[in-house]
């Protein structure tokens, strides 16, 4: 169909034996019609969509004279992946011309000339096969990971889109390429430790999916890198480097031996207690250490003795 706003953009185009001279009119369905000049010197108004599809190639003279034309004049012409190498036969109700063609993959087939011109015949069949089978990994876990990543960033109809695409999270051009994007992603994954037990994780939660910002981690590790995680800081000696030990609730629960819900509840309702005091109290409960016994906590493979700090330490998200 021609352009709605400037139908004259197609003036001068050539389709078969027709050359477009001027825009003529739109019909009720908004199909554009053009005044065309045929090679036989006849002018005729023709639908632009018919010319684009190859169904209108002349004023009508081609159909009347094609049976008189030498079918060998098209030998050597190339359409998509097919090159005409020899005349085959005439057939069908309209006595149309069929040609023997060679595909770029080396196979040969017979195709009707009108199908070659319109694009209905593109190859020996390898084009469709290549289009549907690019890598042979459609049913693998890593391909599902890749497709889910695309959907989170670009499919506004899924609920996860609000946390990714709506926030401006995008995928790098290398992985987004429609032809080799998955292959690039697969090669990166294999060279960076991918296994079926791992999930893809963005190091910077506000960054894009790209090689420099992605890694493969376990599901448990990924939970520690969520955007809504709350982190709690345990204050060490000011001379320590760093002066804080910062973990989220799940990690502190693992260290203290109590549930994360219990720890979260005590922090939220701490009143006058310090974060240090709550963590030490939970550590005693989780490891069954009496109150009158000196406390030494093992955190990150280091022993931390009972720290009497009166200064109020707090969550970095408070």
Question: Over the stretch 28-45, which tens digit does the pLDDT of each residue have?
Answer: 888 899 999 988 888 999
307's CB contacts (< 8 A; 6+ apart) are 235, 236, 237, 276, 280
Better pLDDT: 315 or 78: 78
Paired sense of beta strands 43-47 and 78-79, if any: unpaired
Better pLDDT: 106 or 254: 106
- Average pLDDT of the residues in 4-22: 84
pLDDT > 70 fraction of the chain, expressed in percent and rounded: 81
Does the pLDDT of residue 318 top 50, yes or no? no
Band of pLDDT at residue 126, cut at 50, 70 and 90: confident
User: pLDDT value at position 215?
Assistant: 92
- Average pLDDT of the residues in 46-70: 79
Cα–Cα distance between 122 and 192 in angstroms, integer? 39
- Average pLDDT of the residues in 156-169: 88
Report pLDDT digits (tens) over 69-93.
677 888 999 998 899 999 998 888 7
Q: Which strands, in side-by-side order, build the sheet including 108-112?
A: 78-79, 82-91, 96-103, 108-112
Range with top average pLDDT, 44-48, 158-162, 176-180: 44-48
Closest CA to 113 of 145, 129, 91: 91
Alpha helices in the chain (DSSP H): 48-53, 61-65, 113-118, 126-132, 141-154, 173-176, 181-191, 219-223, 249-256, 260-268, 275-287
Band of pLDDT at residue 315, cut at 50, 70 and 90: very low
Q: Could you tell me the maximum CA-CA distance found in the chain, to the nearest angstrom? A: 112
User: pLDDT value at position 170?
Assistant: 94
pTM: 0.41
Cα–Cα distance between 144 and 223 in angstroms, integer? 20
Band of pLDDT at residue 160, cut at 50, 70 and 90: confident
Does the pLDDT of residue 107 top 60, yes or no? yes
User: pLDDT value at position 2?
Assistant: 42
Range with top average pLDDT, 33-37, 112-116, 179-183, 251-255: 33-37
- The mean pLDDT of the chain is 80
Cα–Cα distance between 267 and 315 in angstroms, integer? 9
Distance of CA 63 to the CA centre of its chain: 47
Cα–Cα distance between 148 and 141 in angstroms, integer? 11
- Cα pseudo-dihedral 89, 85, 71, 46, rounded to 10: 100
Does the pLDDT of residue 100 top 90, yes or no? yes
Report pLDDT digits (tens) over 262-301.
877 877 787 777 777 888 888 888 888 887 777 777 665 4
């Amino acid at each position: 169909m021609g352009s709605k706003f400037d139908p004259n953009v197609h003036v001068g185009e050539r389709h078969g034996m027709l050359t477009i001279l001027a825009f003529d009119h739109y019909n009720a369905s908004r199909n554009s019609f053009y005044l065309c000049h045929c090679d036989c010197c006849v002018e005729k108004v023709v639908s632009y969509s018919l010319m684009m599809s190859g169904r209108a190639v002349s004023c009508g003279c081609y159909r009347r004279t094609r049976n008189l034309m030498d079918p060998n004049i098209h030998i050597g012409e190339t359409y998509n992946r097919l090159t005409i190498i020899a005349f085959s036969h005439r057939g069908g109700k309209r006595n149309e011309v069929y040609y023997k063609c060679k595909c770029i993959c080396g196979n040969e087939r017979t195709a009707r000339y009108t199908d070659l011109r319109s694009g209905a015949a593109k190859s020996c069949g390898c084009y469709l096969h290549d289009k549907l089978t690019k890598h042979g990994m459609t049913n693998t876990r890593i391909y599902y990971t890749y497709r889910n990543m695309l959907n989170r960033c670009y499919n506004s109809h899924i609920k996860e889109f609000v946390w990714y695409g709506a926030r401006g999270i995008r995928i790098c051009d290398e992985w987004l390429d429609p032809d080799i994007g998955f292959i690039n992603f697969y090669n990166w994954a294999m060279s960076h430790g991918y296994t079926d037990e791992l999930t893809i994780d963005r190091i910077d939660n506000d960054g894009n999916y790209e090689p420099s910002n992605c890694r493969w981690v376990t599901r448990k590790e990924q939970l520690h890198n969520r955007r809504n995680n709350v982190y709690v800081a345990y204050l060490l000696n000011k001379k320590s480097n760093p002066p804080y030990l910062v973990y989220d609730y799940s990690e502190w629960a693992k260290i203290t031996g109590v549930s994360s819900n219990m720890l979260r509840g005590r922090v939220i309702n701490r009143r006058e207690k310090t974060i240090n005091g709550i963590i030490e109290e939970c550590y005693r409960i989780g490891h069954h250490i009496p109150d009158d016994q000196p406390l030494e906590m093992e955190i990150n493979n280091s022993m931390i003795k009972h720290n009497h700090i009166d200064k109020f330490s707090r969550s970095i998200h408070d």
